[in-house]
Amino acid sequence: MHLPNCPAVSLNRRHWIRWTAAASAAIASEVMAQPLPVSTTRNAGGERPLVVAQVVDLTFGQQDISRDFLIGSRTAWQDLNKRGGVRGRTVQHVTIETDGTPASLKVAWETAHGQAGCVAVAGCVGNTAAAGLVALQSSAGSASPLALVAPWLHNAVTDSEAKTVFEVFPDHQTQIEHAIKTHASLGVKQIGVVFATAQVQQESEAYVLQVAKKMDLQAQILPLPGTTGPAASQLTTPAQTIILFVGGTPELHAFTSKLVAPPGRQRFVVALADVNLQVLGQMGGTPKGTSIIATQAVPLVTSSLPVVRAYRDALSRLFDEAPSPQGLAGFIAARYTAEILGGISGPITRSSVLAALQRRATVNVGGYVVAYQGNKRSNAYVTQSMLTQDGRIIG
């Protein structure tokens, strides 16, 4: 399903929930490609707008990430267009919703490629959708491939995939290394690890253990949530005071709501960037004596970096939403894409955009630097924020 641009008016969380519910009801298992309407406004020179597509997974498990990420991207594109677009051309931001299934992702990928004037796919979110598109891109062998720019991925892409996929955000392994290193420096020798599902454990356990070994930490893998019998007590009263949780916001809430803090001590649960602390705080139920720390793949939303200030300013003007790390990530994904488009000399086409990205030049997006060494990202912003037991977010 092609989701047209929302108007530049306030869109608060309640409106968004109603809008996504209506969109989900309308998707009906397929995504229909739609050409630009005949009435699309042309620039003074008669040129049609540039089209940038964004594939978004708004299923229940991904909404907390995808919703804010999409609002951040939409904010960036609307703000850019108000300031003249890219080299005087408006950018039409086309959103394509998917339910994350292989069939739906295939149709979304075909829809993006079928869009007249589409020069890139930017900011695909969440991980299942982004990883699925990367796999499709690698296997399809399109004669005119679309660059996949700044996808929200848990795992780094391979050298082969990196020909058309351009990472901006740190992967899970980088985030986990940052989180574990922080606690190892405090003298912690053992952590517990909880994976939200068996699939997440299969994807992540090896590099969690690898990073822990590198940091000289003992990592004990705890039972999966939902485990019954005697083993279940390891989830409610784990022996470790620091727990690394790998999963999303709903799963983390379900896990922490059953935790029992050790008498007279504080327990810390460390999550990754797929957790939205604002939503978690609104859900409530954080047990006494437990603090939740989440890594973030972007600078703190309170930072004075120009790109963060630009995000907060544009968001306050265009949407009735509080800043969030996921929203900032979506904003950066769009701004990085715009920087690439604006730096192209000559016609902006799929092939010229792909060629510009393949040069992997260092780009400074308002203080957020994207740099590469070969095909791999050579720098990564990883920060942390804490949700306290009384619902405050510190960081």
Kindly list the domain boundaries of the chain, sorted by start residue: 2-170+302-374, 172-296
| pLDDT on residue 211 | 86
**Nearest partner of 152 among 91, 68, 81, 51, judged by Cα:** 68
Choose between 13 and 321: higher pLDDT.
321
61: pLDDT strictly greater than 90: no
Lowest mean pLDDT among 134-138, 342-346, 377-381: 377-381
Topology given in CATH for the domain delimited by 172-296 = Rossmann fold (3.40.50)
C-alpha–C-alpha distance, residues 179 and 188, integer Å? 12
Choose between 47 and 113: higher pLDDT.
113
8: pLDDT strictly greater than 50: no
| pLDDT on residue 299 | 94
* C-alpha separations of 236 from 218, 229, 267, 325 in Å: 20, 12, 12, 29
Sign of CA dihedral 167, 172, 174, 175: positive
Topology given in CATH for the domain delimited by 2-170+302-374 = Rossmann fold (3.40.50)
Could you tell me which residues come within 8 angstroms of residue 247 by beta carbon, excluding any fewer than 6 positions away? 194, 195, 196, 197, 200, 255, 271, 274, 275
Instruction: Summarize pLDDT for 170-229 with one digit per residue, the tens.
Output: 998 889 888 878 777 777 888 999 999 998 899 889 888 988 888 888 999 999 998 888
| pLDDT on residue 283 | 86
| pLDDT on residue 46 | 57
Instruction: Summarize pLDDT for 356-395 with one digit per residue, the tens.
Output: 999 999 999 999 999 999 888 887 789 999 988 777 888 7
Q: Which residue is associated with the tokens 């290193």? A: 181
Asked if the domains at 2-170+302-374 and 172-296 fall in one CATH topology, the answer is yes
Q: Give the pLDDT band of residue 44 (cuts 50, 70, 90).
A: low
Choose between 27 and 245: higher pLDDT.
245
Q: Give the pLDDT band of residue 348 (cuts 50, 70, 90).
A: very high
| pLDDT on residue 201 | 92
C-alpha–C-alpha distance, residues 308 and 152, integer Å? 19
